[in-house]
Structure 1
Amino acid sequence: MNRKKTKKVKVGNIYIGGDAPISVQSMNNTDTRDVASTIKQIKDLEDVGCDITRCAVPDMEAAEALKEIIKNVKIPVVADIHFDYKLALKSIESGVAALRINPGNIGSIDKVKTVAEAAKGRGIPIRVGVNSGSLEKDLLNKYGKVCPEALVESALKHINILESVNFDDIVISLKSSNVMQMIESYRIISSKVNYPLHIGVTESGTIWRGTIKSSVGLGALLAEGIGDTIRVSLTGDPIEEIRVGKEILKALGYKKEGIEFISCPTCGRTNIDLIKLANEVEEKLSSYNKNIKIAIMGCAVNGPGEAREADIGIAGGNGEGLIFKKGKILRKVKEKDLIEELINEINNM
């Protein structure tokens, strides 16, 4: 799968664009002014493989709090700024790895230049983030509605402002809760600029619905080679955003590390509680980082054969099951011992 070649941008110790791997981002839902809880949440995100996180900066107290937060975490922290350029400057002083700010929203060109110069001096990129819910009135009047063309024009306007003050360390996002609108917006902007793209379906919903919408939107773009960093926006624990994001990348082959699970959907031949078995295996191995494919199959008739590409797997029977590797049966074990035997085999691999 060939990704479109984009400009390479450095965010802390992570690169976005160019030949860099696609990174997975989230945003803290803690109050940034609550330093302890924000640090804890970022550490939890680090534990599940988050590459970059973003913190809301509603006021100067939050901007100042970032200094202590950044000292105590490993992954890059991005400051999310709206309107007040002074908050951007303070966040830069606090050591953020990037800014999310739209230059057209912070006032005069002098203010934009001040922020751009401060960011450039620290090697800090700026993400221009256009959202369908906050499109400028003049563009709404021009197009009569929110549409991909309007979102792209808005982004280009903000980009032009930054370029006019000699700043081009830019990342772009065009977010919409409408999946098809989001897909088309990124297709258009991808054909017009070579800045790296932060892709996502904004306000996608609860964990169940949001996972589906995000998988469709992100999957379609990534399959076309569009996208350099992703965020799955879910109404829930940010940790779930990372889990879903990593699985999307695994499904498309963009991310190899960690376990890939496959399991059959069950049928009339299934004589074992496969649903319970699959969930237990997935839960017990959730923290494993081995790069292997595990199959949980419902019957011994087709299981080992259908899952021969799996590195290891189990196939259920009536009160018993098979342990197999690469389609070859190793041994038969009792149902109650299947998970323990499987984990022992994995540990010995």
Structure 2
Amino acid sequence: MIRENTKVAVIGNRAIGGKNPVLIQSMTNTKTEDVGNTVEQIKRLEEAGCDIIRCAVPTEQAAYALKEIKRQISIPLVADIHFDYRLAILAMENGADKIRINPGNIGSAEKIQAVVDVAKSRNIPIRVGVNSGSLEKNLIEKYGGVTAKGIVESALGKVKIIEDMGYDNLVISIKSSDVRMCIEAHELLVKETDYPLHVGITESGTVYSGNIKSAVGLGAILSQGIGNTIRVSLTGDPLEEIKSAKLILKTLGLRKGGIEVVSCPTCGRTRIDLIQLANQVESMAANYDLDIKVAVMGCAVNGPGEAKEADIGVAGGVNEGLLIKKGEIIKKVPEGELLDTLKWELDHWKD
């Protein structure tokens, strides 16, 4: 389900909002000034399924680097700007497809207007970002602390600043590391605006804890049709963000493509190294662009039955295993050949 009554924003060669699909975004962790490493990372992220990439622009050198980075990549490039309005202007002049700013830390109205004027002349969307950690003191006092209502009021206030300057090509992002607060804030925000939204649980943590918090938060928000781009913010390799985002969207039915791996928990009947096998299958499956479900089951007792909803699967026995298609046993192979047998089937799936 996608909330289709939002405005549409065009970001480079992609569009968000309206009936457009939810897109996956990530952010480079290289120094943007280092064009070679930044481009290399972006290409790896794009190959993994990243739709939009954001780069930090803390210096003039980073802003100028965007031009060459942009020339070498295929996905839209977003410039992340804080404090210095001149960097926002330089980023747009050097090819940024969208800029992310917080009008509250850009400075005077004249500085914000200068940024808006350039964005307007180039029809570049501005993402207005507000985090719970940077909520204004007056709103904290008004609501007795950091609250969802305060976050929403802050965001809408900053949007109005730009609207009053004659520009409405905007994307809104409100984030918090508090999952429940983040969910509530988005539920409140969609009642007040029809701008497209970028959604994420900020500062969610390591790959382990961050994945859990992001899955819970993004799942609750996206399941209500809220959100047009997402980022799974993890303290780790950005590639992990893409893998998680794809699985979240696929689990909710918002994206097709890619193999879904299901596996059973271990139990006393398991006679193969199920944990290793399941991890190996998951890693292998990531290399295939097949819209199918693969099951990895621990025993031959329940394996065929439990795997019947999968397109293909394997189930363990005593030092051996079964290859299963649509719940039917196809062949029995030694345990050491299970992975290769499954790989052969995937390699020839479209034959």
TM-score range, shorter chain: over 0.9
The corresponding residue for 2:273 is 273
Kindly provide the CA deviation profile for residues 217-252 of structure 1, in whole angstroms up to 9, marking residues without a partner as x.
Answer: 001111111111100111111111111111111111
For residues 28 and 154 of structure 2, what CA distance do their matches in structure 1 show?
A: 26
Counterpart residue number, 2:183: 183
Q: Which residue of 2 aligns with 1:327?
A: 327
Correspondences of 1:254-269 after superposition (within 5 Å):
254-269=254-269
Matched, 1:45 2:45: yes
- Mapped to 1, the partners of 2:254 and 2:129 lie a distance apart of 24
Could you tell me how far apart the structure 2 residues matched to 1:256 and 1:303 are?
A: 26
- Residue matched to 2:165: 165
In the aligned structure 2, how far is the partner of 1:185 from the partner of 1:326? 43
**Given residue 262 of structure 1, which amino acid in structure 2 is its aligned partner?**
V
Offset of residue 104 of structure 1: 3.4
Specify the alignment match of 1:343 in structure 2.
343
Looking at structure 1, the residues matched to 153 and 161 of structure 2 have their Cα atoms a distance apart, in angstroms, of 13
- CA–CA distance in structure 2, aligned partners of residues 297 and 79 of structure 1: 45
Q: How does 1:52-67 map to 2 (within 5 A)?
A: 52-67=52-67
> 1:44 Cα shift?
1.3
Match status 1:129 vs 2:129: yes
Change (3 A) 1:309 1:3: farther
Q: What residue is the counterpart of 1:216 in the other structure? A: 216
Distance 1:121 1:112 in 2: 14
Question: Where do residues 281-320 of structure 1 align in structure 2 (5 Å cutoff)?
Answer: 281-320=281-320
Query: Over residues 94-114 of structure 1, what are the superposed CA-to-partner deviations in whole Å (9 max), with x where a residue is unaligned?
Result: 001100012233233333222
Whole-angstrom distance in 1 between the partners of 2:178 and 2:132? 9
1:244 aligned residue: 244
SS of the aligned residue for 1:244 comes to helix
Q: Distance in 1 between matches of 2:315 and 2:297?
A: 5
- The whole-number CA distance in structure 2 between the counterparts of 1:75 and 1:287 is 20
Q: Matched residue of 2:191: which SS?
A: helix
Q: 1:14 to 1:2 in 2, by over 3 A?
A: closer
- 1:32 CA displacement: 1.0
Q: Secondary structure at the match of 2:42?
A: helix
CA distances 1:117-163 after superposition (whole Å, capped 9, x unpaired): 21122221010100011111221222231110110010001110111
Distance in 1 (CA, whole Å) between partners of 2:211 and 2:339 is: 28
Which residue does 2:114 correspond to in 1? 114
Tell me the matched-pair count: 349
Give the structure 2 partner of residue 8 of structure 1.
8
Q: 1:3, CA displacement in angstroms?
A: 3.2
Query: Partners of 2:43 and 2:167 in 1: how far apart?
Result: 32
CA shift for structure 1 position 4:
5.1
- Write out the 4+ residue segments of structure 1 that deviate beyond 3 Å after TM superposition: 1-4
CA contact (8 A) 2:132 2:146 kept: yes
Take 2:164 and 2:69, find their aligned partners in 1: how far apart are those partners?
33
- Structural RMSD (CA): 1.2
Deviation readout 1:289-321 (Å, 9 max, x if unpaired): 111110001112211211211111111111111
One-letter amino acid matched to 2:115: V
SS of the aligned residue for 1:233 comes to: coil
> Which amino acid counterpart does residue 198 of structure 2 have in structure 1?
H
Counterparts of 1:296 and 1:135, CA distance in 2 = 47
Distance 1:107 1:344 in 2: 60
**Matched residues, percent identical?**
58
1:192 aligns to what SS in structure 2? coil
User: How far apart are 1:280 and its partner, in Å?
Assistant: 1.1
Structure 2 SS opposite 1:232: coil
**Equivalent runs, 1:30-41 vs 2, <5 Å:** 30-41=30-41
| Runs of 5+ unmatched residues, structure 2 | none
Q: Is the 8 A contact 1:4 1:226 kept in 2?
A: no
Counterpart-to-counterpart distance in 2, 1:246 and 1:345: 23
Letter aligned with residue 303 of structure 1: G
| 1:177-214 alpha-carbon deviations (Å, 9 max, x no partner) | 11111111111001110111111110000110001111
- Separation in 1, partners of 2:249, 2:197: 15
- Looking at structure 2, the residues matched to 52 and 13 of structure 1 have their Cα atoms a distance apart, in angstroms, of 10
**Matching residue of 1:144:** 144
Q: Look up the match of 2:102.
A: 102
**Secondary structure, counterpart of 2:281 in structure 1:** helix
Question: 7-16 or 136-145, which moves further after superposition?
Answer: 136-145
- SS at the partner of 1:191? coil
